[in-house]
Amino acid sequence: MISKKSAALGAVALILVTAFLTAFLTVQVGTYIDIKSGDRIIISKQDYQLLNNFYRKLDNVRRDIEKNYIEEIDREKLFEGALKGMVSSLEDPYSYYLTEEELEDFNVATSGTYQGIGVSIEKSEDNQIMIFQVFKNSPAMEAGLLTGDKIIKVDGQDVDWSVYEQAVAMMKSGEPGSTVKLTIIRDGETKEVEVRRDIVEIPDMEYEMLDNDIGYIWLYSFDGPAAKNFKNAIEELQDQGMKGLILDLRGNGGGLLEVCREIADVLLPEGLVVYSESRSGQRTEYKSDADALGIPLVILVNEYSASASEVLTGAIQDYGMGTVIGTTTFGKGVVQTMKPYEDGGALKLTTYKYFTPKGRDINKKGIEPDIKVEMTEEAIEFLKENPRESLPKELDAPLLKGIEVIKKELEETP
């Protein structure tokens, strides 16, 4: 007679093999499946052995964990862990599996508003959780967190990139107004910072007219309504008599490629903005139309300008439509595709590498500026001592150089 426990384990095994069989057949359909007979699908012996070996290894581990692990097992988390582990084996910081809850958080965060502390994070070279961007007027900015800080503890618990999902959840969970204690490393020194949780409005840009009719737009990201807001900003600055433009992409970690294309369309003449290629050589092109801004243009970048920022910078540089000033960019020249699943989860997977119009591959290399200008020691010290304040323009060496370049171009224009 079969015990209830054996029956339950058998049911779990059946669910697992059915799930993996379904996934396997979905991927292989049209290539390896040859015969359909009633409710049976017949596949080649080689593919069956591959599937069987894969499932057997997985199920052996599952059985041993459920039988021998010292604490109670959450089977759903066990299954999610197997999926996450499969993707993490790629050792690609941009590819990962998201649960239904994580996907909801991702969609909210890219829409422009979410609950948290007001930072975006990336994987550092030493596998730590690194703050890539601190949003303006956010709790993180109020607490003095800076781009480049590495988070090593959340409320006393050690964290690194291998548990970034849990770390993010810990930073976000709690009512608005509650606090979380972060332990960070900055310039080799360890610090503890208490940060308030709140509803965070993610700004996509700010803009103003500088002296000499030079427009200035600081673009924070390429998410949400950034393209529409960028076009509105350009129109307002033009109404004020803009003769030159400085586009600040420092600290901009990227966003949506289509948003980037729309912004590039405002600045570039008709032609190729960027193209991507898959592993199989499939090529996708993104183009701009004939209308271009047609005024002196400067792009400000730094080591935290990544992805879509580099797409736009590379295109402007290739067309000779502007001067790039600052330091070498981050070097993220790959594109991810989001694949949702019926269970509510999703796979974010690196599927394409992108190239500038002239065919430059900037992945892990970055884009070299036309004019290299670093932040001065005085500016760096000011930001450390006044993390809640913006850098005064008179201390911003790259911005001052940008103004100088545009003024010279305007003087030379007949």
Mind listing the pLDDT tens digit for each residue in 156-192? 999 998 888 788 888 988 888 999 999 999 989 999 9
Q: What integer best gives the mean pLDDT of the chain?
A: 86
d(CA 176, CA 198): 4
> Catalytic annotation on 332?
yes
Is residue 318 annotated as part of the catalytic site, yes or no? yes
Q: Is 228 a catalytic residue?
A: no
Tell me which DSSP letter residue 127 carries. Answer: S
Q: Does domain 202-412 bear CATH number 3.40.50.300?
A: no
Q: What pTM value is reported for the model? A: 0.76
With 50 as the cut, is the pLDDT of residue 305 above it? yes
pLDDT of residue 109: 66
Residues 334, 363 contacting (CB under 8 angstroms): yes
* Catalytic residue from among 332, 348, 396, 401: 332
Q: pLDDT tens across 223-246, in order?
A: 878 999 999 999 999 999 999 999
> Please, what sign has the CA dihedral across residues 220, 221, 224, 228?
positive
Q: Are 245 and 236 in contact (CB under 8 A)?
A: no
In which residue ranges of the chain is CATH 2.30.42.10 found? 113-200
The single residue of 221, 307, 309, 401 carrying the catalytic annotation is: 307
Q: What is the pLDDT of residue 113?
A: 64
Q: What pLDDT, on the 0 to 100 scale, is given for residue 27?
A: 40
Closest CA to 91 of 162, 22, 142: 162
Name the segment(s) of the chain with CATH classification 3.90.226.10: 202-412
Decide if pLDDT at 344 tops 80.
yes
pLDDT band at 21 (very low <50, low <70, confident <90, very high): very low
CATH 1.25.40.10 fits 113-200, yes or no: no
Query: Do strands 334-340 and 150-154 pair parallel, antiparallel, or not at all (unpaired)?
Result: unpaired
Catalytic, out of 318, 348, 396, 401: 318
